[in-house]
Amino acid sequence: MSKIDPELKKKLLKESQAPFKGLRRILWIAFSGSAFLGLLIMLSRIASGNQLQQNNLLIQLGACIVFPILLFLDRNKED
């Protein structure tokens, strides 16, 4: 019947069900890192006595929460 290796077939089926999963995970990691770096910079500015708008800090905190959650939800369920 099929001359495709069963492991390869399983991998191809998994990829067809969740395309670009690797790219999404790389993006979530990059966005998370950027959010935490931005938060670190904002906190250092606050510590040095500079004034920041509260909205900007809340947006940065939201990004620090949302992107790691998205990364966690995009993990492999069977691993």
Separation of alpha carbons 30 and 49, rounded Å: 29
**61 or 9, higher pLDDT:** 61
Could you read off the pLDDT of 16-63 as tens digits, one per residue? 887 888 899 999 999 999 999 999 999 999 999 988 888 999 999 999
**Angle at the Cα of 41 from the Cα atoms of 39 and 44, rounded to 5 degrees:** 110
Q: What's the confidence (pLDDT) of residue 5?
A: 87
* SS3 assignment, position 20: coil
Q: What's the confidence (pLDDT) of residue 18?
A: 77
Q: What's the confidence (pLDDT) of residue 1?
A: 53
Q: What's the confidence (pLDDT) of residue 48?
A: 93
Provide the terminal-to-terminal Cα distance of the chain, rounded to the nearest Å.
30
Q: Which residues, including other chains, have CB under 8 Å from residue 4's CB and lie 6 or more apart?
A: 12
